[in-house]
Amino acid sequence: MNLPRKPGIPHPRLPLPEGQQEDLAVFQQWLSDAIPMVSSLGISEMLRQSDQLTWQLALEPSLNDKGTGFGGALSAQTTLQGWCWVTLWLREQGIARDVVVAEATQRFLAPVTDNYRLVCTPAEPEGSSQLAQQLEERGKGRIALTHQLYCGEMLCLEASGNYAVLPSR
């Protein structure tokens, strides 16, 4: 697509997958077009299994002056990953809605020194079903998600976010 982005102009939505499994490569390309900074984040792979979204990322685009992961880039990645988790979940339900982050926090545990993986899951096991119920009853909803960033087996960052699904326009 590669449309130039302009402030105040929404990017066209990606068509819903219509009963078939989401092609994450197509979604990632759309995401890069919709949010220009995505192509600079180093996401090499997206994998969705059940209620888990996992990204593999290259460290190089997020290096800081010390040669480790820059906290601001890592924070942006966790926030975006949560947004993607909710958006992909909605798409699986056949719902095209706007999603926004309402709150996000990060806790840095160890330096990120190599390529890494970022794992996003609902904070509560029943988070998805609660979100579905909220959408059915109120036409909008929220879900709390957690993120864990691993370098190899070392947990380097824990993050949490609260994401809102807005009512239909």
> Using one digit for the tens of pLDDT, what is the confidence trace for 118-162?
999 999 999 999 999 999 999 999 999 999 999 999 999 999 999
Please state, in angstroms and rounded to a whole number, the distance separating the CA atoms of residues 101 and 91.
17
Order across the sheet with 43-49: list the strands.
Answer: 43-49, 52-57, 116-122, 141-151, 154-165, 99-108
The answer to whether residue 5 sits within a structural domain is no
Return the CATH number at 44.
3.10.129.10
Total residues belonging to the chain: 169
Predicted model pTM:
0.95
The answer to whether residue 14 sits within a structural domain is no
Residue 66: CA atoms inside 13 Å, Cβ hemisphere, count?
Answer: 8
| Number of domains comprising the chain | 1
The answer to whether residue 19 sits within a structural domain is no
User: Would you report the helix, strand and coil content of the chain in percent, each value rounded to 5?
Assistant: 30, 35, 35
